[in-house]
Amino acid sequence: MKINNLTKLLIIGILGIVLAAGCSGKNGSTGKTGATGAQGALGNEGPVNPTVTWVMPVQGATGVYMDSVIKVGFSKPISSSTINSSTFMVSTGGVNVTGTVSYNSGSQTAYFSSYAPLVQFGFYTITLTTGVTDTNGN
């Protein structure tokens, strides 16, 4: 069963907004570290947090099946032990969708596979928590 184009656009748009809003750079700030924007003691900006670099299905995708795997790519290697159902969640109407979460370190990609097909015309939200860390603990 396929999802119609309007539903696909809504799901993908929501996913993109949620992921973009939840993933900021440089320790969650928009400038250099420190209250005044000064560089840290070592002359650098401190650790750089991992960011989401892409999501599948992409915005505007057509022909997306309701049992498609949701994929999230990261800017740097993630500690695989921090990618799980507590840190990578998919929900609809405030209720978490049950499924399997996995991570491929070679491609720096996390995967969510729902146990049941997603509901046609449903609105879904992806949440990645700050529990997701890179291999250095950022």
Q: What is the pLDDT of residue 45?
A: 58
Q: What is the pLDDT of residues 43-72, one digit of tens each?
A: 445 678 999 999 887 765 556 678 889 999
**Residues 56, 63: contact at Cβ < 8 Å?**
no
Whole-structure pTM value: 0.65
- DSSP 3-state assignment of 5? helix
Residues 6+ apart with CB under 8 A from 133: 50, 78, 79, 82
